Homo-oligomer: A and B are copies of this chain.
Amino acid sequence: MRVTDLNDAKALISGILAERKEPFTNVVFLACGGSHACFGIGEYFLRKEAKKVSVYNITANEFNCVQPAVFGENSLVFCMSLSGGTPETVNAAKLAKERGASVIALVAEEDTKLAQYADAVAYYGIEIGNKANVQNQYVILALAVEFLQQTEGSALYDEMITGFDRIVEVCENAKKKVQKRAKQFGADHKDEPVVYTLGSGANYEVAYMMSICMLMEMEWVHSSSIHAAEFFHGPFEVTDPDVPFMVFMGVGPTRCLDERALAFVRNYGSKITVLDAKELGIDMLDDSVVEFFCPILLWTVALEYSEGLAQAKKHPLLMRRYMGKVSY
């Protein structure tokens, strides 16, 4: 079924739960690359909020080789592939079905290879545009929230509904706000050989996705995502006025980690770009739930910066030398 809002997610999850006799004891997210990173939003929400399930986010082909001992008939699996055809993710879904798990597939289109191994398909039509409510992170969070609400219940549920209502507007406003900055980022970084990203909490995976998808894959720029809490235990020794950092700042309990890393790179570096969810208007959301929505806003904005870099480098985002061009 098409899932673009919380009501769709509610229907999908209740359909899955209606087929169960025993409760799920664990939730496993399985995907590759950018999709694997996007699952971070669901992993963060459920790990923080769900008392009755353990939560794992595993890159699909590692799962194909080795599964957690707790994995099996009591597992709820989310598999995601934009095209629905990523072989590693299709194999993971197949394996999950064979092992008796319930599988929810998230894909951009309705009919895909991934769908054939799924108990339910959430297709979100990402091609329609770039609005937050068709962003896959939005759909993942909606499904995670509904899963929690329909199993354990959640004191945050009403505020989450309001959050989903508001995040689209927040993202649209922020996109406009960063147009000039994104262009400037491109101009400033077009000749940089290395760009690091920093993040924490719900937003670490956004920093990871910016690093592996936008910088490495799309712009062939050397990069690494560094968890802001890990930064001071090794990585910060590469800090230098010549080394660019993109700092992804959320609002919520781990913001202090981002702030500490930012203060350091501002002090000992000089090429610092800050994507700050607070300054970009996420404060329209209630304090109790704002942290969970930050990745949606930060990724929306990260796409603008990526486009700014691509234009300045005259290196289109979709240009590849290996992916889909050679066999591997």
Knowing A235-B217, A237-B323, say if A229 contacts B69 (CB, 8 Å): no
B residues in contact with A180, CB < 8 Å? none
| C-alpha gap A224/B220 in the complex (Å) | 14
Query: If the complex has contacts A32-B230, A322-B236, are A69 and B50 also in contact, measured as CB distance less than 8 A?
Result: yes
Would you call A95 an interface residue if the criterion is a C-beta within 8 Å of the partner chain's C-beta atoms?
no
Q: How far is the CB of A37 from chain B (nearest CB, A)?
A: 9
Integer count of this chain's copies in the complex: 2
Q: Please, what's the 1-or-0 string for A314-328, where 1 marks a CB less than 8 Å from any CB in chain B?
A: 000000111100101
Of B88, B220, B226, B235, which contacts A238 at CB under 8 A? Answer: B220
Which of A14-22, A118-126, A165-173, A249-257 has 4 or more CB atoms under 8 Å from chain B? A249-257
A112 to chain B, nearest CB (A): 17
Cβ contact within 8 Å between B62 and A229? yes
A263, B227: Cα distance in complex, Å: 30
Question: 19 pairs across A/B with beta carbons < 8 Å?
Answer: A32-B233, A36-B233, A48-B69, A49-B69, A54-B54, A66-B201, A66-B254, A193-B193, A211-B224, A212-B226, A212-B235, A216-B235, A217-B234, A217-B236, A217-B237, A222-B222, A237-B323, A260-B328, A264-B328
A216-B238, A217-B236 known; 18 new pairs, CB 8 Å cut-off, are A34-B233, A48-B69, A49-B69, A59-B230, A60-B229, A62-B227, A62-B229, A66-B201, A88-B229, A193-B194, A212-B226, A217-B233, A217-B235, A232-B323, A237-B320, A237-B323, A264-B322, A268-B326
